Amino acid sequence: MDRRAEIPQQENIISASHPGLSVWTRPQRRPRPALNRELIVSEAITLLDAEGMAALSMRTLGARLNAGATSIYRHVATRDQLIELAVDAVYGEIAIPELATAGQWRDAVTTCAESMREVILRHPWIAEALPGVGLAYLGPNVLRLNEFLLRVFDAAEFPRNETDTAISTVMGYVVGICLSEAAWLTTVARSGADEQQLVDQLLPTLERITSAHRRIGESIVARAESGIGAVRETKFRYGLERILDGLATRLPGWAG
């Protein structure tokens, strides 16, 4: 006789779902993370990245977090405040180099500007959000970036009464050009094609529309042939460098 048949199978006992069994045999439920501001902001950014500003509401966010809107309001008073927090969290992704010496100010500003562009294109909704957060923006990551840029311009001996305006000019340029880039990349994402494929599909229509405007048509064809991604990169760098060229004329010892 096979005595193994007389021994109850342990796995069958453990898998039984009877309330009288030992607590150690019952499956454990994974605890839901405690709701806090950091979790709310993180989920808001995920939602914004996927669906844009129009999709963000306290009700929608609460559903995603398996919590009611009322629970969200305990941590963040309004949707506008939530956007402020999300913007500042995203600013934390901007690369800030080592503090520059006087001769390195252009490199430092360029690093920040290029990193800010990367962040905006990674989170395209932020270009839409920035105009609404106001001038008195006190988020720690925004302050960190602004403090660094102030120190860079101070190290270069830029006129102090012009520094704030100079920084606003650079950042305004970055946000402005990236707003159109972000809108374009959102259109590309919705099309299901990659960027160059979409341009190639549109090119015959664009050539037809601009047939009476020879110079515009030539420009469109040239950009399409160069690769639209490379064109965006070149356009951004060109504008940034021309702004920095202009700011350089305000430095001591500039000799035209």
The 10s digit of each residue's pLDDT in 125-169 is: 887 887 766 545 678 999 999 999 999 999 999 999 999 999 999
For residue 208, pLDDT over 80 is answered with yes
Q: What is the mean pLDDT of residues 166-187?
A: 89
- Spatial CB neighbours of 239, under 8 Å, sequence gap ≥ 6: 173, 177
Domains in the chain, please, with CATH? 21-77 (1.10.10.60), 102-248 (1.10.357.10)
Q: Which residue has 């520094």 as its token pair?
A: 163
Angstrom distance (rounded) from CA 249 to CA 235? 22
Contact (Cβ atoms closer than 8 angstroms) between residue 248 and residue 256: no
Q: Identify which has the larger pLDDT, 33 or 40.
A: 40
Q: What is the pLDDT of residues 69-128, one digit of tens each?
A: 888 999 999 998 999 999 999 999 999 988 767 678 999 999 999 999 999 999 988 878
pTM for the model stands at 0.77
For residue 9, pLDDT over 90 is answered with no
* Percentage of the residues of the chain whose pLDDT score is greater than 70: 83
Give the residue from 135, 170, 131, 108 showing the smallest Cα distance to 162. Answer: 170
What is the per-residue pLDDT for 14?
44
Give the residue from 51, 113, 126, 135 showing the smallest Cα distance to 85. Answer: 126
Q: Identify which has the larger pLDDT, 104 or 253.
A: 104
Read off the tokens for 145.
């970036």
Q: Identify which has the larger pLDDT, 129 or 247.
A: 247
Contact (Cβ atoms closer than 8 angstroms) between residue 95 and residue 112: yes
Contact (Cβ atoms closer than 8 angstroms) between residue 58 and residue 72: yes
Angstrom distance (rounded) from CA 33 to CA 17? 26
Read off the tokens for 196.
């160059």
- Spatial CB neighbours of 255, under 8 Å, sequence gap ≥ 6: none
- HSE value, Cβ hemisphere, 13 Å, CA-based, for 18: 7
